[in-house]
Structure 1
Amino acid sequence: MTPLSVLPVDRLELSLVPFDWRFAVERRAEIDAHFATLQRRLPHVWNGRVLLMRDHALVDGTVRAHLFEADFASFMAWRDWGFPDTSVTNAFAMGALRGRDGGFLLGEMSAGTANQGKVYFPCGTPDPSDARDGTVDFAGSIVREMQEETGIGPNEYEQGAWFMVPAWPRLALIRILQARLPAATLCERARAHMAAEDHPELARVYAAHGPADLDDSVLDFVQAFLRHVWR
């Protein structure tokens, strides 16, 4: 397997551009049937709106890209059917929350979620609430998802450097969030938040301090990023 690249990023310029996704239009009946089957297995999944990426480029430290709005059912069908439209990318922002002792907080997705059992940094598929005046705010998406999944707010960390990890059909844009508390305390905070939720998105959290803390449940682009930071 070819190692994934971890590329430093200085700036994001992400635009929301209207786009008529032919895949979603031409396979509508199949998509709806597929999603109905998915909902019978995962009843908490609902057909909201998400943002997907059509193209991107990293030039002189700046990521420039166009995103468009689609329904979650079409996104899931595209994913589950092996990504038949290769012009589309699943792009998202992740917050790599690092404790003052260097440990990073990782979370395992709960049963009943679309990515159950997978381990990665708190994040979510961008949605229309992340777009303002034609610009998509991935930094704001990170803050929202971190708060929702762990209860840890933006006053508890400093937002640091960005990195891009291309792993088509996924494109991870990862930002280091440097916390003032040690990683174990961050995990305790997150567990308390999860315990108070009726349907927490995370099943468990733990701190990763080095490669020995990674296993096959940790997604490949997260492993690539962490090994890059730890080297």
Structure 2
Amino acid sequence: MTVSIDHDPFRLYPANTVFPISGLDLKVSPGDHPWYLAERERAAENWRKEVAANPALFDGKMVFQHRLALQDGIIRGEAYMVPFSTFLWWRRQERPSGGLHLFCYPVPVSSDGAIIAVRMGERTANPGQVYCPAGSLDASDVVDGVCDVLGNMVREVREETGLDLRQADDDGRYFACHQERRMMVCRVFRFRQSADELLAAIERHMVEDEEQEIAGAIAIRSADPDAHPYNPTMPPLLSWFFGGGT
């Protein structure tokens, strides 16, 4: 069975519902994304405003989906590389269309059952928001024209927190959740250290981190959606995790 998010957002699974998937096949095509071609002038104008407000922003290339479908439990995608400025302009739309954003959420979990999340720094595109250490797929995550989702997770967590997901217990299962043309893919990594130990390790990393992407780390122990200024993608994940979804 194939369900397309382009026309009907995964009808089998309501929005904001975490569901299991059996794999991913996310291809990146050469050339330009149609939405980039149609909106590049407006995106460039918006970028000038974004940088004026936050000069630390960087207009690197990222993976932006053109089509996504769920086929026999596998999320299949067709994407193009676009400037980050294109994505920011897309994100500014009241009802984004013309593209889809698939991003990866590694979920670090301490030995005492807390999710380890980060609060983003003021120099980032999501200042003050709290969510799992993560970032959009970029050029370094594309291998032979296909996105390396696990590689993205390992890299992003290492860069932001200094933690190494390869040292955590991992059963290899992927889950997904969609919200208005956004698709979150998550995977749980269980560390042998306590939350306090992991937070202390992240604090040491922050002292040495020149990028200063994060403003701090947080141990989340409940599904309360108001406990922190969460990114909108977090409450469904927390509800699922603390509701025994894993």
**TM-score, normalised with respect to structure 2:** 0.86
In 2, Cα distance between the equivalents of 1:99 and 1:167?
27
Task: Give RMSD over aligned pairs.
Answer: 1.9
Choose which of 172, 195, 203 in structure 1 pairs with 2:215. Answer: 203
Within 5 Å, which residues of 2 pair with 1:27-38?
Answer: 27-38=39-50
Structure 2 gaps, min length 5: 1-13
In 1, Cα distance between the equivalents of 2:201 and 2:225?
20
Q: Which amino acid aligns with 2:182?
A: R
Shift in Å, 1:111 = 0.4
Within 5 Å, which residues of 2 pair with 1:77-226?
Answer: 77-84=89-96, 86-160=97-171, 161-212=173-224, 214-215=226-227, 217-226=229-238
Higher strand share: 1
Cα 1:134–1:165 change in 2 (3 A) is: same
**Counterpart contact for 1:97–1:179, Cα < 8 Å:** yes
**Counterpart contact for 2:225–2:235, Cα < 8 Å:** no
In 2, Cα distance between the equivalents of 1:207 and 1:165?
22
Q: SS state of the match for residue 67, structure 1?
A: strand
Structure 1 gaps, min length 5: none
In 2, Cα distance between the equivalents of 1:38 and 1:210?
34
Q: Which amino acid aligns with 2:80?
A: F
Q: Which residue of 2 aligns with 1:43?
A: 55
Shift in Å, 1:56 = 1.6
Q: SS state of the match for residue 27, structure 1?
A: helix
What are the superposed Cα offsets for residues 119-151 of structure 1, whole Å, 9 maximum, x if unpaired? 110110111111111111111000000000000
Within 5 Å, which residues of 2 pair with 1:1-80?
Answer: 4-80=16-92
**Counterpart contact for 1:94–1:173, Cα < 8 Å:** yes
After the TM superposition, which parts of structure 1 deviate over 6 Å for at least 4 consecutive aligned residues? Answer: none
Identity %: 25
